[in-house]
Structure formats: C-alpha cells, structure tokens
C-alpha cells in the first residue's frame, strides 16, 4: 500500500474541524496523516488540541498585518512545510489570506472549509450574513484555495437549514456539525483522486 498522504493543518482558533479530521483518520475513514499543526496565534486552542493527540505543532512568525502573514513570514511557513515533506495544506479556521509564496509552493494542494454554500456569503462570519439575508438554507463548502478569497474550485458542500428563532450562535453551531461530517469526506475524495 502506498504511503499515507502527509497533511499540515493550519488554524487560528478552536480547531474543531482539525479534531474531526484527526478523529476520522484514527477511525480509518480518512487515509492520511497529519504531520504538523501550525497556527498564527500562539495561544490558539487548536495547538493544545493537537498536542493532546501527540501531534507536532508550530507557531507562525508574528505579522504586522492582521489579515495576512508578512511576505517573509509566509516564506518561512513554506520552508517549514517543505522541511516536513508536506503534500497537502489543510486550512481549518485559518484567519490569514493565503498569498503567493504558499499558493506557488502548493498549487491545487491547499484546501479550505467555509461556513456557507459558496459562492453565497464569502468572507467573515458567513452565518451572520446568511441570517441577515433571511435565507431558508445555508451550509458549508470545502474548496481549493486560490488567489481569490473563498472562490477556488468547489470540492463538496453540505446543506444546513436556517430555523425559526435561530441566533448567530445556534446557526453557526448547526453549520459546524455539518462541517465535521463534510471535511473528512471531501478530503478523502480529493486524496483518492
């Protein structure tokens, strides 16, 4: 059997999607290995969750920009990924826009999950955008990452109803349940291609 694809997960927050991926791997539902979990936030919960699974972690260099790494910081990230023989970069709540050094180093090898049915509600807090728009249904999307935000080729989507009385929190929680099913399944599809 061929070697397991080597994944790095990048995240800035609580890492529930990372946990769903790692649990799918441990359950034999996703044929891959997470060899590195990296965050731009030194105190991100995703890092302690990774350590809980015994996985190596890294904190990315501080950036003067809120929405992206510095160009040098992103080059350092590429070096870190290459040193670890990473084949796929999996974004899981990573709050920095991916720029050219990373895109060029991993063409069609960076995957993201977004909490809406793209192309609807790109950008931040997509569940709040869905509530404000009054739609009856939203969802989540796994897609390739390119230079345009939340606009790369779609790999898979899962629908989620907006229910009467939903708050931003209740809707986001329902979307996250769907994310945790969709991400491992969509990634398994990509890796089997």
CB of 183 to ligand GRF, least distance (A): 9
Closest CA to 10 of 102, 121, 104: 102
For 179, the token pair is: 């994310």
Q: What part of residues 107-166 is at the interface with ligand GRF (CB under 6 A)?
A: 113-115, 140
15 contributes a contact to ligand GRF by CB under 6 A: yes
Whether the CB-CB separation of 67 and 96 falls below 8 Å is answered with yes
Whether 180 sits among the annotated catalytic residues: the reply is no
Residues 31 and 7: their CA atoms lie apart, in Å, by: 11
Q: Which is nearer to ligand GRF, 75 or 166 (CB)?
A: 166
Say which residue the tokens 């999307």 belong to: 141
CB of 115 to ligand GRF, least distance (A): 4
93 contributes a contact to ligand GRF by CB under 6 A: yes
Q: Which residue is nearest to ligand GRF (CB)?
A: 93
Closest CA to 130 of 167, 158, 95, 99: 167
Using the Cα atoms of residue 54, residue 55, residue 61 and residue 62 in order, give the sign of their dihedral.
negative
Residues 99 and 187: their CA atoms lie apart, in Å, by: 22
Residues 111 and 134: their CA atoms lie apart, in Å, by: 29
Q: What part of residues 31-90 is at the interface with ligand GRF (CB under 6 A)?
A: none
The DSSP letter of residue 153 is: P
Q: Which is nearer to ligand GRF, 14 or 75 (CB)?
A: 14
Q: Which is nearer to ligand GRF, 66 or 83 (CB)?
A: 66
Give the residue, chosen from 8, 10, 17, 190, that forms a contact with ligand GRF under the rule CB under 6 A.
17
CB of 172 to ligand GRF, least distance (A): 7
Instruction: Pick the catalytic residue from 114, 143, 172, 180.
Output: 114
Residues that bind ligand GRF (CB under 6 A): 11, 13-17, 92-93, 113-115, 140, 176, 179
């Amino acid at each position: 059997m061929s070697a397991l694809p080597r994944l790095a997960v990048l995240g800035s927050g609580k890492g529930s999607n990372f946990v769903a991926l790692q649990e799918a791997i441990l359950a034999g539902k996703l044929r891959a290995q997470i060899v590195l979990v990296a965050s731009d936030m030194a105190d991100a919960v995703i890092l302690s969750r990774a350590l809980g699974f015994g996985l190596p972690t890294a904190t990315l260099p501080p950036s003067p920009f809120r929405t992206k790494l510095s160009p040098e910081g992103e080059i350092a990230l590429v070096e870190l990924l290459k040193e670890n023989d990473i084949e796929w970069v999996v974004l899981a709540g990573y709050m920095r826009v991916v720029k050219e050094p990373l895109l060029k180093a991993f063409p069609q090898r960076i995957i993201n999950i977004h909490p809406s049915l793209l192309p609807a509600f790109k950008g931040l807090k997509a569940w709040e955008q869905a509530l404000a728009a009054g739609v009856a249904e939203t969802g989540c999307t796994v897609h390739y990452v390119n230079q345009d935000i939340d606009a790369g080729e779609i790999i898979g989507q899962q629908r989620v109803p907006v229910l009467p009385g939903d708050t931003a929190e209740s809707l986001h929680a329902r979307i996250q349940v769907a994310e945790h099913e969709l991400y491992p399944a969509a990634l398994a599809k990509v890796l089997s291609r």
